[in-house]
Each structure stands twice: as C-alpha cells, then as structure tokens.
C-alpha cells in the first residue's frame, strides 16, 4: 500500500540519502520549497497589461497556508482548463489586433534594455561567480525571510540586499559572450532579478504584522505557539506595484471579503 502510494517519493529519498526508507526511519525536517505569490491578475486572470494573461503559478496563486505537492498541477488545470477558456475569448473578440513588427517602438525599447543589461553583466568582469551571489542571497532569505520571520530579521535583510545587489552588478564575473549559448549569462540575468524579488518578499513580510498562511511572524503567535491572525487589519491581498529598481514599490490593498466561510485560527491539535 505504501509502495503504491508513495513509491516514487521513497525512491527519491533513497537516491538522495542512500538510506532505504522501507527499512530505516526517514529523516524529515520542514523547509521552504516555494516562493508563494506571483503577478497580480484580475478575476479574468489578466494582468495590469491589457491582453497579458497570467495563469498557473505565475499569477498570485490559489493555494492557502501550505503549498503542497501537485499544487502547480491543480492551478495550471484550474486556470487553463476552466477559467481562461471563459475569459480570454472576450478580450480576443473585442481587442483590435493591429499588425506589429520588430520595428515597433516598444520592441526597440525592450531590445535596447536587454542589450544594455547583457552588456553590463558581461563587462562587469568582476571576481565573483553568479552562483556565489545566488547562494549568498539564498542564505540570507533562508535565515531572515524563511519559515518564521521577525521584524528585526527582516529589517536586517532589507539593509543587506541593496548592498549585495550593488556588489553583484559591480563584481559579478560572467564568462563568455552574448553570441552563443551562455548559461552563466542566463543565470546572471535571473539572479539579478532575484534581488528585487527578495527585497519585495522581505518588505511584504515586514508590512504584514500578523501570522497568517505561509507567513509566520514570531512576534505574532498565541501562547501555545500557533499563528495569531489579525483579520481586522490584514484581511487584504497586498498587490505591490513595481516602481523601478531602488524605488520603494507601492502597496495596493485588495480587501478580502468572506460572506459564508470565515477565516479561522489554524490548529493542528
């Protein structure tokens, strides 16, 4: 029975640890495995850019306190199979699809921006690899914006990230050129973006003075260690508007109204 239900998981565990989970007890500990949240979308799954629909886990997500295995499948199916076929038609029917080509001003602008970033990364010719920055940032996030957070820790992370980002753009070492497949360059572009994402995650966690869902602030817990919600003040979706690198993002509150089923304290007891 266990083999039928959990066979692939047990096999994965055996490969990683070299221990047979059918014979010896499994060593399990909780860990962050997912960046919750995503791009803001309306009820039709359209982002704030007209015609740009964001589905699956790229949007700000349907999962609750815990994002379990197969959540990606669930949301991909829910959005792609059930929601989008009923909403995108309206846009397609009403939008005027003008013919555009690569000569369009927006295309030129995007191209110039990508070239500029690529050039900057390749020409930094610093001393540290992309991976070393990725690891440093990951460790900081694990430590201060992980499964449990404090205002103090988040403020510390927020003070470190801009420094790290500045160092990244000055001291990163990306070998090769932009003319062929260059995995270091690809990774550098992504890690460059992670600084903004990391900063936003810390800011959002600091702003939310309660423990709720996947967000556990150590200051806000019940005497027996459960998450202490504060629905009077924080029953909203925090949609942050990007205002450019280094500029504080703008918070838009989207109130959550529960008519029939009301949020309640989580308890595993």
Measured between alpha carbons, how far is 221 from 239 in angstroms, rounded to an integer?
25
Q: Which is nearer to another protein, 78 or 200 (CB)?
A: 78
Q: Does 93 bind another protein (CB under 8 A)?
A: no
Size of the residue set binding another protein (CB under 8 A): 21
Site for another protein contains 263 (CB under 8 A): no
Site for another protein contains 167 (CB under 8 A): no
CA distance 32 to 141: 10
Q: Among the candidate windows 24-32, 81-89, 144-152, 254-262, which touches another protein by CB under 8 A?
A: 81-89
Q: In this complex, which beta carbon is closest to another protein, that of residue 5 or of residue 96?
A: 5
Answer yes or no whether residue 86 interacts with another protein by CB under 8 A: yes
Instruction: Describe the crossing of helices 183-207 and 105-124 by its angle, rounded to 10 degrees.
Output: 100
Q: Identify the residue among 47, 129, 150, 235 touching another protein (CB under 8 A).
A: 129
- The stretch near another protein (CB under 8 A) out of 21-29, 113-121, 181-189, 232-240 is 181-189
Kindly tell me which residue out of 162, 176, 178, 248 binds another protein, with binding defined by CB under 8 A: 176
> Please, are residues 184 and 126 in contact by the beta-carbon 8 Å criterion?
no
* Biggest CA-to-CA distance, the chain: 64
Measured CA to CA in angstroms, residue 46 lies from 54, 55, 57, 93, 131 at distances of 6, 9, 14, 15, 34
State the Cα–Cα distance between residues 75 and 239, nearest whole angstrom.
19
Residue among 31 and 181 whose Cβ is closer to another protein:
181
Buried b (16+ CB within 10 A) or exposed e, 87-116: ebeeeeeeeeeeeeeeeeeeeeeeeeeeee
Query: Does the footprint of another protein cover residue 173 (CB under 8 A)?
Result: yes
Tell me: does residue 207 bind another protein (CB under 8 A): no
Residue 11 neighbours by CB under 8 Å, 6+ apart: none
> Residues 6, 12, 13, 15: is their CA dihedral positive or negative?
positive
If one asks whether residue 12 binds another protein (CB under 8 A), the answer comes out as yes
Segment interacting with another protein, rule: CB under 8 A, options 5-13, 42-50, 159-167, 228-236: 5-13
Examine residue 142 and tell whether it contacts another protein (CB under 8 A): no
Residue among 11 and 207 whose Cβ is closer to another protein? 11
As a whole number of Å, the CA-based R_g of the chain is 22
- Which residues in 184-203 contact another protein (CB under 8 A)? 184
Summarize as ranges the residues that interact with another protein (CB under 8 A).
8, 11-12, 15-16, 18, 80-82, 85-86, 129, 131-132, 173, 175-176, 180-181, 183-184
């Amino acid at each position: 029975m266990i083999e039928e239900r959990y066979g692939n998981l047990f096999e994965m565990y055996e490969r990683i640890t070299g221990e047979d989970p059918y014979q010896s007890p499994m060593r399990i500990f909780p860990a962050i495995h997912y960046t919750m949240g995503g791009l803001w979308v309306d009820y039709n799954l359209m982002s704030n850019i007209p015609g740009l629909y964001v589905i699956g886990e790229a949007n700000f997500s349907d999962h609750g306190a815990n994002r379990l295995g197969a959540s990606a499948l669930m949301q991909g199916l829910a959005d792609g199979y059930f929601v989008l076929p009923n909403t995108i038609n309206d846009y397609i029917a009403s939008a005027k699809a003008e013919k555009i080509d690569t000569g369009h001003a927006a295309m030129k602008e995007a191209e110039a921006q990508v070239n500029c970033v690529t050039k900057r990364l390749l020409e930094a010719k610093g001393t540290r690899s992309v991976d070393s920055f990725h690891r440093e940032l990951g460790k900081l996030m694990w430590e201060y914006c992980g499964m449990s957070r404090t205002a103090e820790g988040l403020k510390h992370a927020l003070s470190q990230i801009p420094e790290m980002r500045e160092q990244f753009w000055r001291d990163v070492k990306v070998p090769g050129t932009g003319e062929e497949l260059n995995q270091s360059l690809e990774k550098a572009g992504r890690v460059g973006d992670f600084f903004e994402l990391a900063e936003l995650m810390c800011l959002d966690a600091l702003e939310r003075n309660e423990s709720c869902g996947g967000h556990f602030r150590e200051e806000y817990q019940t005497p027996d260690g459960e998450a202490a919600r504060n629905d009077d003040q924080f029953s909203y979706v925090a949609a942050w508007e990007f205002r450019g690198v280094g500029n504080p993002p703008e918070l838009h509150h989207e109130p959550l109204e529960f008519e029939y089923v009301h949020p309640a304290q989580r308890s595993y007891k």
